[in-house]
Amino acid sequence: MKSLASPPSLRLTPTTRHHLPSRQSSSACHPHVVSSVIKSNNSLSFSSAASGFASPLAVEKELRLETSAVRHVTGSLIRGEGLRFAIVVARFNEVVTKLLLEGAIETFKKYSVREEDIEVIWVPGSFEIGVVAQKLGKSGKFHAVLCIGAVIRGDTTHYDAVANSAASGVLSAGINSGVPCIFGVLTCEDMDQALNRSGGKAGNKGAETALTALEMASLFEHHLK
């Protein structure tokens, strides 16, 4: 009867992708283990020692050097000329959504997006955003669709239904249209939270989601065609 050959030992070559646990999880879950990387004959092997915290940084650094041939792609925030954006805005809680819209448009302008390349579409509420975003994405006119709304908790479960439907609607719009649809709907416990996030002490989430739209539009336009 033939004996089974032992499996070949694992060799991590410079073009191999390596998935490492985060530094936080490594130290939190296994504080006593220190891993080190030993380079030999253009391959990597690992050793462990029980001597406290230390090496995930060194391991990551070594692996990053060894995998330099891997191509990393990201969208650009340097410029937005030539990119076209649609912004779907809910009228409900307009005192909040108008501030989010202003933050988004101001951010687009800072990154050289022309006013004529921005189109704003108003809908009754956050529940209606998804279907309109999908229609705009499929139109072929826009590189990304930014979806802005504000859902504030009340005394009934209506909040949960609208918040969940708005999130899944925006997600489905992006998947079905193949165009990035960015979720910029605030889901807050009260009006104070909403105002704090639309230009108050917590910043303007409309501006933040505009940056996401810029990066995703650039990624799709320049790298994922």
Catalytic residues: 158
- Give 21-89 as a 3 state SS string: CCHHHHHHHCCCCEEEEEEECCEEEEEEECCCCCCHHHHHHHHHHHCCCCCCCCCCCCCCCCCCEEEEE
Residue 122 φ/ψ, nearest 5 degrees = -95, 140
Residues 174 and 152: their CA atoms lie apart, in Å, by 24
- Largest interatomic CA distance in the chain: 80
Helix (H) or strand (E) holding 198: strand 198-200
Q: What's the token pair of residue 11?
A: 């060799």
Residues 185 and 206: their CA atoms lie apart, in Å, by 9
Residues 93 and 69: their CA atoms lie apart, in Å, by 50
Under DSSP, the state recorded for 14 is T
